[in-house]
């Protein structure tokens, strides 16, 4: 291309407004006239992707010509400003041609090889999982092998037809671009920018295989945390079921199976949320202990710990999810028919026993404090969840982010621990709460957080905190890096936040 057609364009979120301004701003800030004619772009294929792409390109000020095997049939589906014609005619004048057909049909385009020579072909295709395993060559490399006289650029495959049509107004949409020719990549990047997307250079065409694998992934970083959360849920649910349903049925012949859908679930949810929250902070404690033991930060952590540290955000968000569900389920508890019957039965019992007023001061206080601590813990978790959203996290500097995630996160763990303790109160010491000799569930969940809180407390001791701070600033016990910390240096100034 002689001139990049889209440099310095003004973006708009609306499809109908051209993104290319009639006037461009020169590097010196003065206004310059744009070329009279809109830059021409070709599209091969008239399917879903081609239609959305054409709509977006037309809306961004490009002149679009679509090449179809049957233009008469498909012309009505495209915006009126797009020209729909036969493939041969469509590829004759544009310098950039999008190939919006599936890989298995690439070879049917070989008859166009002469007209396509010297042009930029943009490969937008995505293989299926089966195709990916079947072919060692990426779709883009295969296209390049069929058209050696063209420059192939891989782009736009991570953007769905729907997202193209809607435009990038509802969030940041990156267009991953790779190719062997810098100039061609630049041209496609500028087009993506003009359409309102954010181009991201992924390197040479050899990276196309990696880029093509991205849309096939299903939340890869969530797999282990989700399985962990589900595993915890199943274990705690089974434990609570044995204690709250099975034990009364076997020992007292009481039918409490009605508790399974709501009450047992609600007893399980906070256990999962609480343990998951502890699992966010446990790897940091283990990492610190390991650094103290090794006397250096320059030794790699074991792989399992490395992965665990990297998944803390997902584990934290799942903890928030389970805590939210617990709050919602708790609101539903008084709505249950069984709850109403229990209340009426209690009232009748009171009347029969001739007791006028039921009021246990200790229970009243316990409940008030317990609920208040629960709401505070949930509020804190919400704050952590909100600040983990990329756009918000990006607006915080490292110190602010670390304060919220590390310090406030630990406050959330403390509040949850106090919430659990006030819930349990003296029950851990009462024999009738050990059903089938199984301790109350809250005592089990308290183990891990208490270990973490204790370890964090230990790390605050001057002898350990000073040593840890030195290690995190590069000091090594047996190594060459030895220095004194400046006087008055505190743990708050540490450089690593694992």
Which stretches of the chain bind ligand NAP, using CB under 6 A?
A: 45-50, 68-70, 74, 100-102, 105, 108, 124-126, 157, 160-161
Provide, rounded to whole angstroms, the least separation between the CB of residue 344 and ligand NAP: 58
Instruction: Look at phi and psi of residue 84 and say left if phi exceeds 0, alpha if psi is from -120 to 50, else beta.
Output: beta
Retrieve residue 470's tokens. 């030195």
Provide, rounded to whole angstroms, the least separation between the CB of residue 122 and ligand NAP: 11
Residue among 139 and 189 whose Cβ is closer to ligand NAP: 139
CA distances, 272 to each of 4, 128, 266, 311, 323 (Å): 55, 36, 10, 16, 8
CA distance linking residue 484 with residue 199, whole number of Å: 46
Residue among 218 and 480 whose Cβ is closer to ligand NAP: 218
Provide, rounded to whole angstroms, the least separation between the CB of residue 96 and ligand NAP: 16
Residue among 126 and 267 whose Cβ is closer to ligand NAP: 126
Retrieve residue 17's tokens. 């407004």
Residue among 125 and 291 whose Cβ is closer to ligand NAP: 125
Residues comprising the chain, all counted: 498
For residue 120, give the 3-state DSSP assignment.
strand
Residue nearest to ligand NAP (CB): 47
195-232 core/surface letters (b: 16 or more CB in 10 A; e: else): bbbebeebeebebbbebbeeeeeeeeeeeebeebbeeb
Provide, rounded to whole angstroms, the least separation between the CB of residue 181 and ligand NAP: 22
Residue among 171 and 457 whose Cβ is closer to ligand NAP: 171
Tally of CB atoms within 10 A around 168: 20
CA distance linking residue 269 with residue 233, whole number of Å: 7
CA distance linking residue 494 with residue 485, whole number of Å: 11
Q: What is the DSSP letter of 67?
A: E
Provide, rounded to whole angstroms, the least separation between the CB of residue 223 and ligand NAP: 23
Residue among 122 and 471 whose Cβ is closer to ligand NAP: 122
Provide, rounded to whole angstroms, the least separation between the CB of residue 222 and ligand NAP: 22
Provide, rounded to whole angstroms, the least separation between the CB of residue 48 and ligand NAP: 4
Residue among 100 and 277 whose Cβ is closer to ligand NAP: 100
């Amino acid at each position: 291309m002689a001139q990049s057609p889209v440099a310095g364009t003004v973006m708009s979120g609306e499809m109908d407004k051209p993104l290319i301004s009639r006037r461009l701003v020169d590097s010196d800030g003065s206004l310059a006239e744009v070329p009279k004619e809109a830059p021409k772009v070709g599209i091969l294929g008239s399917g879903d992707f081609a239609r959305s792409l054409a709509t977006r390109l037309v809306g961004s000020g490009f002149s679009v010509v679509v090449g179809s095997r049957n233009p008469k049939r498909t012309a009505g589906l495209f915006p009126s400003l797009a020209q729909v014609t036969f493939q041969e005619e469509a590829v004759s004048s544009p310098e950039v041609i999008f190939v919006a057909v599936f890989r298995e049909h690439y070879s049917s385009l070989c008859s166009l090889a002469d007209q396509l020579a010297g042009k930029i072909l943009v490969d937008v295709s995505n293989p299926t999982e089966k195709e990916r395993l079947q072919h060692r060559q990426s779709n883009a490399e295969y296209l390049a092998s069929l058209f050696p006289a063209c420059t192939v650029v891989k782009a736009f495959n991570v953007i769905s037809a729907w997202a193209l049509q809607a435009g990038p107004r509802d969030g940041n949409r990156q267009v991953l671009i790779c190719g062997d020719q810098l100039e061609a990549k630049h041209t496609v990047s500028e087009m993506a920018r003009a359409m309102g997307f954010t181009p991201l250079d992924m390197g040479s065409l050899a990276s196309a295989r990696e880029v093509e694998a991205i849309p096939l992934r299903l939340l890869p970083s969530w797999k282990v945390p989700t399985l962990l959360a589900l595993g915890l849920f199943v274990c705690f649910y089974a434990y609570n079921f044995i204690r709250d349903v099975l034990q009364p049925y076997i020992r007292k012949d009481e039918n409490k199976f009605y508790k399974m859908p709501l009450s047992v679930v609600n007893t399980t949810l906070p256990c999962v949320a609480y343990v998951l929250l502890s699992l966010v902070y446990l790897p940091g404690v283990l990492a610190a202990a390991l650094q103290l033991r090794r006397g250096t930060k320059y030794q790699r952590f074991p792989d399992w710990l490395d992965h665990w540290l990297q998944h803390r955000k997902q584990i934290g968000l799942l903890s928030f999810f389970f805590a939210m569900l617990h709050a919602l389920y708790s609101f539903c508890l008084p709505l249950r028919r069984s709850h109403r019957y229990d209340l009426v039965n209690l009232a009748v019992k009171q009347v029969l026993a001739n007791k006028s007023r039921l009021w246990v001061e200790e229970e009243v206080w316990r409940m008030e404090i317990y609920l208040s601590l629960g709401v505070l813990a949930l509020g804190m978790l919400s704050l952590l969840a909100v600040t983990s959203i990329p756009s918000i996290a990006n607006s915080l500097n490292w110190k602010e982010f670390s304060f919220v995630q590390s310090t406030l996160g630990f406050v959330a763990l403390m509040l949850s621990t106090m919430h659990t303790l006030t819930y349990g109160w003296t029950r851990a010491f009462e024999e009738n709460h050990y059903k089938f000799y199984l301790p109350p569930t809250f005592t089990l969940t308290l183990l891990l957080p208490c270990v973490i809180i204790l370890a964090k407390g230990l790390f605050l001791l001057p002898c350990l905190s000073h040593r840890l701070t030195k290690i995190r600033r590069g000091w090594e016990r047996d190594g060459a890096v030895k220095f004194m910390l400046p006087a008055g240096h505190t743990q708050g100034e540490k450089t690593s936040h694992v």
